[in-house]
């Protein structure tokens, strides 16, 4: 069985979708992997409690604890890598993990890092994707699963889902519509990647 480690910073709804698909009884449609651990840079994030309720081991590596280090970002990434390596993952899955990773970290996990981003990349890398899509007058929005490279939100695309932008949409309604589709796309994209590799 392949091992996943999932990194989160927030609510963890994508993480939950992945865990539930991996815990599914039906062979068909299941994600054939084990979520070995859920790690977060925010000890108080709701997603950690959610993972524990699903029976998944968790750990928090608080990025604020490294503020005094000579290179805070590198020191945090080194601690994160230690926590990841304990589980010898076949894939490291970023699911709402809101930290920019150092090039050294990305190189260390070359080929193992995937991310989900709430836009149709290469449009709207970065933050506030739904607000920017509405302001630009986009008729469609969506989300992208991609490999992580050293350039933020720029890795090779593994899957995308397209969602309409409806008249009257605001950031909240659009992000809710996209998020529902993220939950369907991400476990399937991971399954395909594991099956191919």
Q: Counting contacts by CB under 6 A, is residue 13 touching ligand GAR?
A: yes
Annotated binding site: 12-14, 73, 98-101, 115
Q: Which stretch binds ligand GAR (CB under 6 A): 63-71, 83-91, 110-118, 187-195?
A: 110-118
Buried b (16+ CB within 10 A) or exposed e, 19-43: bebbeeeeeeeebebbbbbbbbbbe
Q: Convert residues 129-168 into a mask of x (bound to ligand GAR by CB under 6 A) and - (unbound).
A: --------------x-------------------------
Q: Rounded distance, CA 140 to CA 106, Å?
A: 31
Q: Which stretch binds ligand GAR (CB under 6 A): 10-18, 27-35, 56-64, 133-141?
A: 10-18
Buried b (16+ CB within 10 A) or exposed e, 60-69: bbebeebeee
- Do residues 146 and 156 lie in contact, with contact meaning Cβ atoms separated by under 8 Å? yes
Q: Identify the residue among 6, 12, 51, 113 touching ligand GAR (CB under 6 A).
A: 12
In the complex, which residues of this chain contact ligand GAR (CB under 6 A)? Answer: 8, 10-14, 47, 95-96, 116-118, 143, 179, 182
């Amino acid at each position: 069985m392949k091992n996943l480690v999932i990194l989160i910073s927030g609510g963890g709804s994508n993480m939950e979708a992945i865990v539930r698909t991996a815990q599914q009884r039906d062979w068909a449609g299941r994600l054939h992997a084990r979520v070995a651990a859920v790690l977060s840079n925010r000890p108080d994030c709701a997603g950690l409690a959610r993972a524990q309720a699903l029976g998944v081991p968790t750990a928090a590596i608080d990025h604020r604890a490294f503020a005094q280090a000579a290179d805070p970002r590198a020191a945090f990434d080194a601690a994160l890598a230690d926590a990841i390596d304990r589980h010898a993952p076949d894939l490291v899955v970023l699911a709402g993990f809101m930290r920019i990773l150092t090039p050294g970290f990305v190189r260390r996990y070359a080929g193992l890092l995937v991310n989900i981003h709430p836009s149709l990349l290469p449009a709207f890398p970065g933050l506030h994707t739904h607000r920017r899509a509405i302001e630009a007058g986009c008729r469609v929005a969506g989300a992208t699963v991609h490999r992580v490279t050293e350039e933020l939100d720029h890795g090779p695309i593994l899957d995308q889902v397209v969602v309409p932008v409806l008249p009257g949409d605001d950031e909240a309604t659009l992000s809710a519509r996209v998020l529902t589709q993220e939950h369907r796309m991400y476990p399937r994209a991971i399954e395909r990647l594991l099956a191919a590799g």
